[in-house]
Amino acid sequence: MQLEKISANIEDDINQYNKKLLAQKNFRVKIDRFLLMIRNPFKYETSDLDKYYKSLWFFQRFTPNKSALTNLISSGKMNIDQNDGLLEDVLTYYKSIDEHAASVDEALASYSRNQIGLYIMKFDFMDSNTVTSDFRKRKTLLEYHQNHAIENLVYARKQLMNTPKILYERQINNAKNLLELIKIELNK
């Protein structure tokens, strides 16, 4: 019973990782589009940037499904059908998520918010309603093009996104391997 629940949680983790990989792919496309626009300011309109701002600093952290493990720990029955090696593998799986994925996710989220987000908020007005105001005019696409710091910050974010991608793919493989071990144990 415990193994089936842990297995279901790990399958849920795999689904979450796959969704995050797809979301990251979509964000990379949007970041590429933003970079293309600021590198070619005469081909696009400044207002075209509006739909890409959020992708520059938005980030969702991965949260594993630990409900079965949490219930197992709180019950005080820390054996999984008498297989201590498998219990150790399960604990190692979740520990690696907590240690590595959390720190990588936090680093990327922090960079996106505190570097890119703050810089662009200092550089320009984000509210598209201010475009019509004589007092608060939005920066033009040419001004974005001439500001190399924005391009460098955004390009660096795109590069930083490779680390979670590699980590998520590795965690998917770890999860699949763990599911195989659980399946073997269940078939005994």
Model confidence, pTM:
0.82
**C-beta contacts of 85-92 below 8 A and 24+ residues apart:** 86/3, 86/181, 86/182, 86/185, 89/178, 89/181, 90/6, 90/178
- Dihedral of the alpha carbons of 140, 142, 144, 148, in degrees to the nearest 10: -160
* Number of residues written out for the chain: 188
118 vs 40: CA distance, rounded Å: 24
Per-residue pLDDT for the chain (188 aa), expressed as one digit of tens each? 688 999 999 999 999 999 999 998 999 999 999 999 999 999 999 888 888 888 888 777 888 888 988 887 777 666 555 567 888 899 999 999 888 777 888 888 889 889 998 898 889 876 655 445 556 678 899 999 999 999 999 999 999 888 888 999 999 999 999 999 999 988 88
17 vs 167: CA distance, rounded Å: 10
